[in-house]
Chain A
Amino acid sequence: MRGRWRVIEAVRKSDRFGFLFSLPYVIFFLAFVAYPLIFSFVLIFHRWNIVTPMEWIGLKNFERLFHDPLFGKAITNTLTFLLIHIPLQIIIALLLALLLNSKVKMRGLFRAIYFLPVVVSGVAVTILWQQLYSYDYGVLNALLKAIGLPSVPWLVDASWAMPSVAIMATWKNVGIYIVLFLVGLQNIPAELYEAASLDGASRFRQFRHITIPMLNPTVIVVVVLSTIGGFSLFIEPYVLTGGGPMQSTLSGMLYIYNQAFYFGHMGYAATLGFVFALIILAVVLIQRRVIETEPT
């Protein structure tokens, strides 16, 4: 009785405009977030090609997932990608950010150039790198030949293909992290370094014990964003290699796309999406836990 009164009181006291201004988002949420989420939980138990009626198949989609060699391949491919992409990004971004943080002229210009690939469309970048990576006609192999090294089968060898994608993705995104590391570096109070210098700590020790720990939050951002990006890879394998050679660049998203739009398996595609979403959440949680508990 009193509870109901409280609610009515609260509603009466509420600013009507609060409801009014929030309403558009609530409608949007119901239509484009809540409904799809709920519908996905329905889809994963059905077989459906959109055109003919849905068929209930219980857990058969999950059974199929466990026996699906391509699902496992997509996961190992993504891991390969991340294992190369993340360390490469951190090292390069940190290096360039440190250099930019010291007294350099034209810092703004350098920063602008490093950031350029970030804003350009992924499609354009992929087309460009497809030509750079070309075995017979590509610039990279031409460079290698010029210094006497053998050509690398960048996109035509199953062991090189995903690393090539990882290198291209690093080139495209590292600008973001250079900027973030710069901000992080500039936020470290100068006093910390001064105090450490007075204590006689070498530049290297200062780096290890002040810089790195203070950059931890930024590193978490790099790792988490790169991981999410790695699991969302689509246009790069789609345009660059079509998922090959031998499915070595098949990404989760590309597989979902093929299952849904090439073969018409909406239910199975939804199941794949569901499982990948769970994996992403789990991985990100683990990463945050691991990085945050590093000794400072």
Chain B
Amino acid sequence: MRLFVATCGIILFSISGCSQERPSIGQASDAVELTYWPAPNAQEVQLADSLVRVWNRLHPEVRVRMQPIPVSQSTEEVLLAAIAGNTTPDVCSNIWPGALHDYTRAGGLIPFDRLADFDSIITSRVPRDLLETFRSTDGHYYQLPWKTNPVMMFYNERLFREVGVATPPRTYSEYYEAGGKVTRDIDGDGRIDVWMGERDIRPIWWQRLFDFFPFYIAASGGKTLFKNGEPSFNDADAVDVLGFFRECYGRGLFPRTFFQGGDPFLLEKKATNFSGPWEVAHIQKFAPHIKYGIAPLPVPDGHTGQVYTSGDFKNISIFANTKHPREAWEFVKFLVTAQHDLLLMEICDQVPVRSDLLNNPLFADYFRRKPVMVKFAEQAVYSRAVDSAPDLKEIFDAIAQEYEMCAIYGRKSPEQAVRDATDRAQFIVEWNK
């Protein structure tokens, strides 16, 4: 089918080329070929495949070749190596904001704001305040926000109902109160059977993306850890967040040992879980009988206004090595049209970064069929990505260590822990200058 269309296209093109002036984009006889790298997971590859097929049908003169990233390595490693070795694709849609600093430092990406219609396209899609968070320290936009997975609180309705918790806790105090009721030893064997929550007690850096980081953004009303490339989280909000987790462990609401024997939320051994949309498919697959609700993250008592959270954003970038920046930009625009955002939701169950998700009639049917995604859609524009600071992994590693010492083992006060974490983050940023 593709071959037939391509052949027709070529014949038509060459006929038209013979009798008229050469077309303005490229040479008539040169077909432009773009390479596109989606994320390596099955759904996104499926989505990319569909989109690329449609594009190639509509644009025979600009062929897009889709190549999934090899699974054995992290995307960031592969992209950095490609930038260094001049083997980059033209477009990639698996850009993690935390690695942006590394990519731009190596001069690997082109600034979108140099493209004429970028501003109009992007502001109709993404709210200004969210877009600002993706601007690099040199003032340019090297990434286009594509999709996000906001972290929210899943809660087990039955476990709450059994002990008389009517609504999901909104503040820290409400959380402690609910936790006190839920966490108990049911069968009298001396071991607690239901916990309010549970976190991996090892100080692994990316685990903080599901506790400290989202809670900080919620507590601070949308502020992330860095400002203008410098750590800026030495404040009361960070202290409140660490204090919250410290209380949870201190009151025995979270287990202080390594949980063995499977996923506690699926086994209904824990009542709340801080996770994102991927959890929906997970629960559907392994424990579809669980009745759960989704709520925004708890915030410090006295917090007013919208509850923000962190989102696992993946963005789209065009690489500086591209020979066809304009065609690549056309393809990127193609990827983020409303119809294709709908496809993204249908195939991958992930949330595109659009302000009109809940108003646009195009998406209404999807949300009717999957009402649980409405909560994530509502939260999407109020979620924030990780900052693109150098050595972000190591900074989070330092935070994880302070979190371990303060929250899990209670050996440091939250104030001291936050101070030490920001000092270390500052040191790491300095070392990288």
Contact = CB atoms under 8 A, between A and B. Distances in A.
Interface of A: 47, 49, 51-53, 60, 64, 67, 135-137, 156, 158, 242, 244-247, 262-263
B427 A67 contact: yes
Interface stretch (B6-14, B232-240, B289-297, B401-409): B401-409
A244 B257 contact: no
Contacts of A136: 257
A294 to B, nearest CB: 41
Consensus secondary structure, chain A interface: loop
A162 B150 CA distance: 39
B4 interface: no
Interface string B81-111: 1011000000000000000001001100000
Interface string B34-77: 00000000000000000000000000000000000000000001
Interface of B: 77, 80-81, 83-84, 102, 105-106, 201-203, 256-258, 260, 391, 393-394, 397, 401, 404-405, 409, 411, 427, 431-432
B393 A246 contact: no
A52 B84 contact: yes
A244 B203 contact: yes
B257 A246 contact: no
Contacts, number: 45
Given A49-B80, A242-B202, A247 B409 contact: no
Contact of B404 (A60, A137, A244, A263): A244
Closest CB pairs A-B (n = 5): A51-B80, A51-B84, A263-B394, A51-B81, A52-B106
- Residue from the set A53, A158, A246, A262 with the largest chain B CB neighbour count within 10 Å: A246
A250 B84 CA distance: 33
Given A67-B427, A156-B256, 17 more contacts: A47-B432, A49-B80, A51-B83, A52-B83, A52-B105, A52-B106, A53-B84, A64-B427, A135-B257, A156-B257, A156-B258, A244-B404, A245-B404, A246-B404, A246-B405, A247-B203, A263-B394
Given A67-B427, A244-B202, A244-B203, A52 B405 contact: no
A64 B260 CA distance: 38
B421 to A, nearest CB: 12
6 contacts: A60-B431, A67-B427, A136-B257, A156-B257, A244-B203, A246-B411
Contacts of A137: 260
Contacts of B391: 263
Nearest to A64: B431
A245 to B, nearest CB: 7
Contacts of A246: 203, 401, 404-405, 409, 411
